[in-house]
Structure 1
Amino acid sequence: MNSKFFISVLSVFLIVSSYSCKQKSISVSKISTIQKKIDSTIVEDKAIDSFIKPFRAHLNKTLDATLCIAIADFTKNDKPLESTLGNLMADISLKQTKPVFEKKYTKEIDFVLLNYGGMRAPILKGPVTARTAYQVMPFENELVVAELSYEKVKELTAYLAYAQRAHPIANLRLSIVKASKEVKEVKINDQPLQENKTYLVLTTDYLQQGGDRMDFFKNPIQLYKTNYKLRNALIDYFKSVDTLQVKLDKRIKYAE
């Protein structure tokens, strides 16, 4: 194990003072800590290892079972404004959440926005497993839908134009000016952004709470929970297809 990781052991010493036979006061006298390294010097407990061995074997077998095949490497670094991994993540999130959301709320999701930094590993050409999903998305992020006003969606698109980064999106197309970092054109479901309309945006609970400085998601008109983790959506999708395919289609592009 990595010697950079430590367990902090906390020792608390209490003084108990008795003021009468019916009343006691407890206060903290001293707090001290020591650090224990977790590394190769720790002696293995064979009894514990023997106990967990069958569970570990079963878990590894489940995680490493092939669910589908990736026909190419999908990474988040293909282009400055979009990526194969980002497009795949956004498309999967929409496809898997759409029927769940529509059944529960009888409403339709307008578009998807995830974040570039949330993709923690590529999907490499070859067998795709549940472990792959854990590597790509190691966090317990839940998919949620935030209802945003026209003004908030304008803030969202301005954020993307200023960042000029390959944040995963679906059902949203932007044309931006590279030099000025301004939005030239916005289309949602191939329709122009409408001033007197609210939009249902699929994202994660982390971003909805302002993660990655996406403050436009805070205090939405209404927040809809799906009880569906992004990682579970990936695994469910992997199980439903034979091969993974995606392409770059200029969801965000520089204005000509």
Structure 2
Amino acid sequence: MRILHFLTISVAGLFLIGCKSPYLARENRPITYTINAGLPEDTSIVSYYAPFKTAMESEMNRQIGFSERFLNKSRTEPEFLVGNFFADALLEIGKKIDPTVEMSFSTKGGIRSELQQGSVTVGSIFELMPFENTITILEIKGSDLLILADFIASTGGQPIGGFSIMIKDDHLESIRLHGKTIDPEKSYKLVTYDYLANGGDNVKGLSNPLKRINTPILVREGLIEYVEQLTKENKKINTQLDGRIAIIK
């Protein structure tokens, strides 16, 4: 019986080998579809997303404030208007969370657009900060603050609020907080956002905080609320250059 079973399987195997298999690989030929304005709209898809598109455009175009001047962005200047606006707003956001926050810090690369003179909309703020970064408050030693200040100096200046820096030959010449020098042994509270607190943009001085508060507040949400509050107080954005970062020769 075992021999007969073996022969049956063998004959069946030979039969299958001799047959033309319907599962042989076939040549895959690419099909090219041309997408252009000549294609008819799929009305079912358009009708599905149209309400969402309308609602989104309405929100993005909603005016929340007014800027008295054009706030420029610069990669080369140590201090620029939209950087000061951003840092000042960040500082106010931080103080609402913890009134003892004294400083704010961002980077030039984190600010993605300029702010036009005139109407400020929700869309304007999205363009300024399109990322999902969240507000972070750090308590750091004075010695680490000096390291951060030296990083700011070595990179030609970065957006800061609440303190001032003087730079000479790409090195920190001096730093002042409320007109006073920094005590390396004291602790200071600074508001920034999670990307930088995690070491983004190769920032130095923030990696070993004494305390860290992570919040769920998106930076752009905080910025929108900041501008809306100015409007409620009948104020316009009137950012100035004030010498908070200066390069001396």
Q: TM-score, normalised by structure 1?
A: 0.77
**Residues 1:71 and 2:71 aligned together:** no
Which protein is richer in helix relative to its size? 2
- 1:110–1:189 CA contact under 8 A, matched in 2: no
* Amino acid in structure 2 at the alignment position of 1:130: V
Which aligned segments of 4 or more residues in structure 1 are displaced greater than 2 angstroms? 36-45
Q: Deviations over 1:190-240 (max 9, x none)?
A: 221112201111111000111010132123221112322110111112212
Structure 2 partner of 1:119: 111
CA contact (8 A) 2:76 2:156 kept: no
Matched, 1:53 2:50: yes
- By how many angstroms is 1:52 displaced? 1.9
Residue of structure 2 equivalent to 1:10:
none
**Any gaps of 5 or more consecutive residues in structure 1?**
1-33, 103-107
Q: Distance in 1 between matches of 2:111 and 2:35?
A: 28
Which of 228, 234, 255 lines up with 2:248 in the alignment? 255
Q: Secondary structure at the match of 1:215?
A: coil
- Give the distance between the partners of 2:244 and 2:71, measured in 1 at CA: 16
Match of 1:62 among 37, 59, 74: 59
Provide the secondary structure at the position in 2 that maps to 1:191.
coil
Q: After the TM superposition, which residues 78-93 of structure 1 pair with which residues of structure 2 at under 5 Å, given as runs?
A: 80-93=77-90
Aligned to 1:197: 186
Aligned partners of 1:158 and 1:182 also within 8 Å:
yes
Please give the residue correspondences for 1:1-256 in structure 2 after superposition, counting only pairs within 5 Å: 40=36, 44-77=41-74, 80-102=77-99, 108-165=100-157, 167-177=158-168, 179=169, 181-242=170-231, 243-255=236-248
Measure how far apart 1:44 and its partner are: 4.0
SS of aligned partner of 1:244:
coil
Show the counterpart of 2:27: none
Q: Deviations over 1:107-140 (max 9, x none)?
A: x112111010011111101111000010010001
For 1:72, give the aligned amino acid.
R
Q: Which runs of 5+ in 2 are unaligned?
A: 1-29
- Report if the CA contact (8 A) 1:101-1:226 is conserved: no
The whole-number CA distance in structure 1 between the counterparts of 2:195 and 2:50 is 35
SS in 1 for 2:246: strand
1:122-178 per-position Cα deviation (integer Å, ceiling 9, x unaligned): 11011110000100100011110112112211110111111113x11001101111x
Greater Cα radius of gyration, structure 1 or 2: 2
RMSD: 2.3
After superposition, the Cα gap between the structure-2 partners of 1:39 and 1:221, relative to the gap in structure 1 and judged at 3 Å, is farther
User: Structure 2: how far apart are the matches of 1:123 and 1:38?
Assistant: 39
Cα pair distance change 1:40/1:202, threshold 3 Å: farther
TM-fit CA distance, 1:38: 11
Q: How many residues align?
A: 214
TM-score (norm: length of structure 2): 0.79
Deviations 1:77-108 (A, max 9, x none): 29711010000001011112312224xxxxx1
Greater fraction of residues in strand: 1
